[in-house]
């Protein structure tokens, strides 16, 4: 591991997320090995690496889906898994996440996009909301703005069943954006999309960064990483082998394996192809 | 509440061609007992289905086996067990529940709960894990994730409730044992349901009335089916 990789987590990350020496596995299989990585607000970090290298697991750990076997995930200056459940919930609610699949709820677009706002309300407000729905339902401003960001403000009242795959993913992005998170974690958000929908999502990612949101994008699309990211983290077999500014990582990576991956010579992880 | 709804629903039967008050009271008892039992079963079944479906605990497989076994419980055995519970010597003897609607509700609750739990369990565990992950990732608590799961599984759960209602309302053995098929001196049913009345009228050779009661039972089940189908937007 190069010095440049280690220096990242020791930087002060205001209102972002920092993973420090995180190792994790499922059953007896190790997936991540001593990952240290920080994500600041207002930057786009691309996490790249071959399929099966642990990118999704890393994002799920950053989103506090489950505690790491070793190491810490710090948000708001504290280890989220040392915090009370209430504090952890508050920390989680500063994060938005979009998955490879849209994973939309079987209801209207606006109810999907307003879900994050809905769960942040107390129960009295929620009951009042359910009551007012009986007499008609409007689209709130944050929901409209989030849908406008992905160019879908006109489908707010439609059910998600009427959407194409690309539109569904754009709705999933708007859903994560609607409650104004500090951090967005995107797991291969455009891998199943056509170029037009990919362009819309990439524009929306740029808009989010400009609004001060820290965005981590796991992708195996080198061109996308180069187009979008301020920094790039290269993962291989569960380890971070390179972290740095996009231009340097793509032009002059320290680690020869990162070079091979960027050049398209390293596609599979060691576990998959005995590389 | 259930009583008031049932009373309202059976109003059109006032003009029934023969023994209208008798028939109306039978329909009332049937609906009151079965709807109350199914309502209580649903309130128990959904949390149990969520717990068994998603929590890890010792004996989880045994719990699933018990639920599946419960779906096939013989109703007369349930009737006997409930009769023992509510009889003077039983643990609930002090409540004086023998031959009451409450005892019938208890027996139908026991019969309907495994059906609703089993079908709901299949429905909630069939919800895409990605949807549950999305609820959590968007800031949902465990309760929010559970609510989303139930909402996504609503059509399957509705099917379970319907199956439970079908099991309860068409059941004869246990309500006969714990209810006693009693009608009052004025001819109105006290613990007589559509099924037990059909059995009685057929035995007494009043086939016309038995057939009419059977038709009412069928219409009720069809109505419930239609309502659930409508709520599900035709997706069940």
Q: What is the CATH class of B2-6+22-192? A: mainly alpha
CB A241 within 8 A of CB A229: no
* Cβ <8 Å between A119 and B151: no
Looking at the complex, does the CB of residue A175 fall below 8 Å from at least one CB of chain B?
yes
pLDDT tens sequence across A103-157? 999 999 999 999 999 999 999 999 998 888 888 888 889 999 999 999 999 999 9
Which of B130, B141, B144 shows the shortest C-beta gap to A99?
B130
Architecture of the CATH domain A3-104+183-266: 3-Layer(aba) Sandwich (3.40)
Residue among B138, B153, B232 with most chain A CBs within 10 A, to mutate:
B138
pTM of the model: 0.84
Task: Report the residue from B133, B139, B152 with minimal CB separation from A119.
Answer: B139
Q: Which helix (H) or strand (E) holds A121?
A: none
The DSSP code for B153 is T
**In whole angstroms, what is the distance from residue A80 CA to residue A274 CA?**
36
Judged by CB atoms closer than 8 Å, whether chains meet at A119 and B133 is answered as no
Query: Residue A103 and residue B128: Cβ atoms within 8 Å?
Result: yes
Contacts of A175 in chain B (CB under 8 A): 134, 138
Verify whether the Cβ–Cβ distance B130 to A179 is below 8 Å: no
β-pairing, A44-48 vs A231-236, is parallel
Instruction: Please tell me if residue B148 touches chain A, with a CB cutoff of 8 Å.
Output: yes
Taking the Cβ of residue A93 and every Cβ of chain B, the question of whether any pair is shorter than 8 Å is answered with yes
Which residues have a Cβ under 8 Å from the Cβ of A73 and sit 6 or more positions away? A17, A18, A19, A20, A22, A61, A62, A64, A67, A79, A80, A81
Q: Tens place of pLDDT for every residue, chain B, 236 residues?
A: 666 666 656 555 544 445 668 899 999 999 999 999 999 999 999 999 999 999 999 999 999 999 999 999 999 999 999 999 999 999 999 999 999 999 999 999 999 999 999 999 999 999 999 999 999 999 999 999 999 999 999 989 998 998 999 899 999 999 999 999 999 888 899 999 999 999 999 999 999 999 999 999 999 888 877 876 776 555 54
- Domain map of chain B by residue range? 2-6+22-192
Question: Which residues of B fall within a CB distance of 8 Å from A65?
Answer: 133, 136-137
From A235, A225, A219, select the one nearest A269 (Cα to Cα): A235
Q: Which residues of B touch A97 (CB under 8 A)?
A: 134, 137-138
Which among B130, B139, B151 is the nearest to A101, CB-wise?
B130
Distance in angstroms (rounded) separating the CA atoms of residues A104 and A114: 12
For residue B96 the two structure tokens come to: 């004086």
Domain ranges of chain A: 3-104+183-266
- ipTM (interface pTM): 0.88
CA B192 – CA B128 distance, rounded (Å): 44
Q: Give how far A123 is from chain B: nearest CA, Å.
A: 11
Tell whether B78 lies on the interface with A, counting CB pairs under 8 A. no
Q: Give the angle subtended at the CA of A181 by the CAs of A176 and A187, to the nearest 5°.
A: 50
Nearest-CB residue to B138 (from A101, A106, A116): A116
Size of interface A-B (CB pairs under 8 A): 54
């Amino acid at each position: 591991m190069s010095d440049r990789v280690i220096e990242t987590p020791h930087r002060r990350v205001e209102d972002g997320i920092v993973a420090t020496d995180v190792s994790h596995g499922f059953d007896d299989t190790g997936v991540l090995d001593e990952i240290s990585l920080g994500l600041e607000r207002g930057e786009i970090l691309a996490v790249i690496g071959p399929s099966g290298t642990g990118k999704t697991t890393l994002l799920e750990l950053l989103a506090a889906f489950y505690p790491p076997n070793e190491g810490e995930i710090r948000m708001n200056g504290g280890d989220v898994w040392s915090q009370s459940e209430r504090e952890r919930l508050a920390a989680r609610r500063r994060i938005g996440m979009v998955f490879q699949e849209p994973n939309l709820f079987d209801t209207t677009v606006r109810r999907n996009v307003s879900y994050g706002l809905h769960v942040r309300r107390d129960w009295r407000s929620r009951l009042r909301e359910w009551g007012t729905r009986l007499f008609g339902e409007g689209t709130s401003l944050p929901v409209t703005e989030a849908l406008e960001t992905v160019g879908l403000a006109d489908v707010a009242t439609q059910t998600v069943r009427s959407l194409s795959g690309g539109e569904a993913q754009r709705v999933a992005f708007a859903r994560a954006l609607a409650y104004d998170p500090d951090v967005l974690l995107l797991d291969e958000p455009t891998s199943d999309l056509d170029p037009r929908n990919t362009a819309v999502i990439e524009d929306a990612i740029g808009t989010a960064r400009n609004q001060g949101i820290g965005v981590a994008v796991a992708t195996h699309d080198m061109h996308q990483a180069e187009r979008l990211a301020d920094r790039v983290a290269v993962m291989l077999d569960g380890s971070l082998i390179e972290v740095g500014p996009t231009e340097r990582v793509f032009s002059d990576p320290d680690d020869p394996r990162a070079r091979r991956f960027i050049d398209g010579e390293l596609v599979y992880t060691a576990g998959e192809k005995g590389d | 509440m259930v009583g008031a709804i049932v009373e309202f629903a059976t109003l059109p039967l006032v003009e029934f061609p023969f023994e209208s008050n008798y028939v109306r009271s039978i329909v009332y008892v049937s609906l009151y007992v079965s709807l109350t039992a199914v309502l209580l079963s649903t309130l128990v079944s959904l949390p149990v289905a969520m717990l068994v479906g998603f929590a890890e605990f010792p004996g989880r497989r045994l719990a699933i086996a018990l639920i599946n076994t419960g779906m096939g419980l013989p109703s007369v055995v349930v009737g006997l067990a409930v009769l023992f519970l509510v009889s003077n010597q039983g643990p609930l003897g002090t409540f004086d529940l023998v031959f009451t609607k409450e005892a019938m509700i208890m027996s139908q609750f026991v019969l309907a709960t495994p059906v609703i739990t089993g079908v709901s369990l299949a429905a909630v565990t069939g919800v895409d894990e990605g949807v549950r992950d999305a609820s959590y990732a968007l800031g949902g608590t465990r309760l929010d994730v559970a609510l989303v799961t139930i909402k996504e599984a609503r059509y399957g759960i509705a099917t379970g409730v319907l199956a439970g209602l079908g099991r309860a309302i068409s059941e004869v053995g246990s309500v006969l044992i714990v209810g006693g098929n009693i009608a009052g001196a004025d001819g109105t049913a006290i613990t007589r349901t559509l099924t037990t009345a059909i059995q009685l009228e057929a035995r007494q050779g009043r086939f016309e009335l038995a057939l009419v009661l059977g038709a009412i039972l069928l219409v009720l089940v069809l109505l419930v089916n239609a309502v659930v189908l409508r709520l599900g937007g035709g997706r069940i």
